[in-house]
Structure 1
Amino acid sequence: MKDVYLFSGFLGSGKTTLLKRMITQMKEKGLKPAVFMNELGKMNMDSNAVEGDVPLKEILDGCICCSGSEKSEAQIQTLLAEEEFDVLLIETTGAAHPVEALDAIFSPLFAEQLNFKGIVTVADSKRWLDRNSLSPQIRSLFLEQIRHADLILANKMDLLTESEQGTVVYEIQSLNATAQIIQTIHAEIPFSALEKVTTTSTQDVVKAPVSKLNLNAKVLQFDAPVRREKFEEWLRTLPDSVYRVKGYVPLEGDKYPHAFQFAYGMAQWLPEYMKMQNQIVVIGEELAEVELP
């Protein structure tokens, strides 16, 4: 039996950071992890975070919980047949309803080989406080991801005041009284916290399939290097309907592009030391007008 954890959470909440931390800690314990990852766009940006010795399967440009369910089944079946591992970590796209993702993942063909430990939802605490500014459909998905969790990481606590931190924990606990809530910065928790997770009932699910959410991904390609200041100026002009930007940005004066992440108004740059595709993926609603400067 392979232990299985499903990582859920809205776009930019910190799921991939959690994934990387858990992979490192499991290896230190002598466990062999495998990863199944879902990307909403055609670029496998987040899967670059998974080290080469970790078995990895992924679905690109589709949701694990709807049109991609048959592909999910095939990919996991291949992992089970071809790879040796102890724990399977599943990272869903930020647009996935966690319970629907479970329906897609656990096929009668191999369900007896999997020991499902629970849903771990990473919640962006700052976004939680501003959740009423989201569109009704997106807010509904955000709440559903928290409502059906077995363990909740109230992440990005360093961005809040002490009073705001207390408000977040109280309100999330009111929405999901059965899940343990851990306040985190950069999704930092010990693997032992996951090992203690036990599943709760997931009956009476209010479904929020991605097909009804208007979320989509748009790939923007760079024709030439850009000035960092000009690019960040462009970021500030993006509409609130843009929830996530990630990819590789070629900067003037640098030989290689920078890996770039953007969520909730905050940008993160990391230098690369090899040639990568000079393009970014924008995820959100109403992206028709979003173009590079």
Structure 2
Amino acid sequence: MKDVYLFSGFLGSGKTSMLTDVIRQLKEKGLKPAVIMNEFGQLNFDSQSVEEDIPLKEMLEGCICCSGSEKTEAQIQTLLANEQFDVLLIETTGAAHPVEALDAVYSPLFAEQLNIKGIVTVADSKLWLDRDKLSPQVKSLFLEQIRHAHLLLANKIDLLTESEQAKVVFEIQNVNSNAFILQTTNGRVPLHLLEKLHSTVTNNKNDIHSAKIGVHLHLTSRLVEFQKSFTQDQFEEWIRTLPSTVYRMKGYVPIEGMKNPMLFQYAYGLVQWLPEYIRMQPKIVMIGENLDQIQIFGQDSQ
């Protein structure tokens, strides 16, 4: 099992500084990291900060959370197959919504090989105080990156007065009362805080764990395996009963009359089915909140 951390935050918030420092701490501990960096432009200058002996995959000209999702899966598969590493660090573009970024990392192809530790969001403290000057779309994304974090870094805290520092922490806590908030500079975060994060997905097909830092956190995942086939209508009828707190599902569903389980994707209430020409394991990954309260279709005995 490889531990995976997903680093989120706006451009200029301090993600790369955090990445560089976490790499240093991991190497001092004798652990070998691998890195996936995601940028919109054609040239990723930040990758120059990653040392040559570290396996590095770059997502250029695209976003990890949209058309780049399949590329991300392929890059993770390549790393798992060809590289020796202990920890995978994924730095998302500043425009990535954390749920979509997490969705790109979760794949039924390798879900059992990865231990997703959580989302670490770096928030620019000064930008937070000036957030009302942002466009509505950018401000909304800023809030979402904070709301879904498992660990929050209130960065550049040295640029604020004591009263401003207290205001930032109080207001961020109102957005995300579950995550631990670390006031820091230069993106510094002690490795032990990252290691305290607990897995948000498990190997056991019927189990679910919330990420924790002393308290349960809201964003969780669940790996479900199917033992029998269904019709598409039966499965979609079950999907229509799901609450809005189920954000994403993807994987392979065994459908009656089909030789191989079909590729299935679900997002924002929309369903997509595609035929699969290779026999894949019949299992899906779910991402959302309060997943332990959902009865899985075809598994009434649980």
Q: Above 0.5 in TM-score?
A: yes
1:86-125 equivalences under 5 Å are 86-125=86-125
Letter in 2 for 1:20: T
CA distance in 2, matches of 1:71, 1:206: 21
User: Normalising by structure 1, what TM-score?
Assistant: 0.69
Query: Larger Rg: 1 or 2?
Result: 2
CA distance in 2, matches of 1:63, 1:89: 16
CA distance in 1, matches of 2:140, 2:96: 12
- 2:79 corresponding residue in structure 1: 79
What CA deviation, in whole Å up to 9, does each residue of 1:1-47 have, x standing for no partner? 00000000011100000000000000000001000110111111111
TM-superposed deviation, 1:187: 1.1
- 1:132 corresponding residue in structure 2: 132
CA distance in 2, matches of 1:37, 1:141: 20
CA contact (8 A) 1:14 1:122 kept: yes
TM-superposed deviation, 1:202: 2.1
- 1:171 corresponding residue in structure 2: 171
- Does residue 201 (structure 1) correspond to residue 218 (structure 2)? The answer is yes
What CA deviation, in whole Å up to 9, does each residue of 1:47-89 have, x standing for no partner? 1111000001111010000011111111111001000000000
- 1:187 corresponding residue in structure 2: 187
CA distance in 2, matches of 1:128, 1:107: 33
- 1:12 corresponding residue in structure 2: 12
- 2:251 corresponding residue in structure 1: none
Evaluate the alpha carbon distance shift between residue 206 and residue 81 of structure 1 in structure 2; reply closer, same or farther with a 3 A threshold: closer
CA distance in 1, matches of 2:29, 2:158: 29
CA contact (8 A) 1:2 1:88 kept: yes
What CA deviation, in whole Å up to 9, does each residue of 1:88-140 have, x standing for no partner? 00000000011111111111111110001110000000000000100000000
What CA deviation, in whole Å up to 9, does each residue of 1:182-241 have, x standing for no partner? 00011112111110123222273889xxxxxxxxxxxxxxxxxxxxxxxxxxxxxxxxxx
Matched residues, number: 207
What CA deviation, in whole Å up to 9, does each residue of 1:231-253 have, x standing for no partner? xxxxxxxxxxxxxxxxxxxxxxx
CA distance in 2, matches of 1:187, 1:16: 8
Helix, strand or coil for the counterpart of 1:99?
helix
Letter in 2 for 1:136: P
CA-atom RMSD in angstroms: 1.3
- Does residue 48 (structure 1) correspond to residue 51 (structure 2)? The answer is no
TM-superposed deviation, 1:156: 0.2
CA contact (8 A) 1:17 1:187 kept: yes
CA distance in 2, matches of 1:38, 1:189: 21
Helix, strand or coil for the counterpart of 1:145?
helix
Helix, strand or coil for the counterpart of 2:219?
coil
Helix, strand or coil for the counterpart of 1:189?
coil
CA contact (8 A) 1:99 1:205 kept: no
Helix, strand or coil for the counterpart of 2:121?
strand
CA distance in 2, matches of 1:206, 1:130: 30
- Does residue 2 (structure 1) correspond to residue 2 (structure 2)? The answer is yes
- 1:61 corresponding residue in structure 2: 61
CA contact (8 A) 1:3 1:87 kept: yes
Letter in 1 for 2:95: A
CA distance in 2, matches of 1:148, 1:100: 11
Q: Tell which has more relative contact order, 1 or 2 (C-alpha 8 A, sep 6+).
A: 1
- 2:289 corresponding residue in structure 1: none
Letter in 2 for 1:108: P
CA distance in 2, matches of 1:63, 1:72: 9
- 1:149 corresponding residue in structure 2: 149
Moved more, 28-37 or 187-196: 187-196
CA distance in 2, matches of 1:133, 1:206: 29
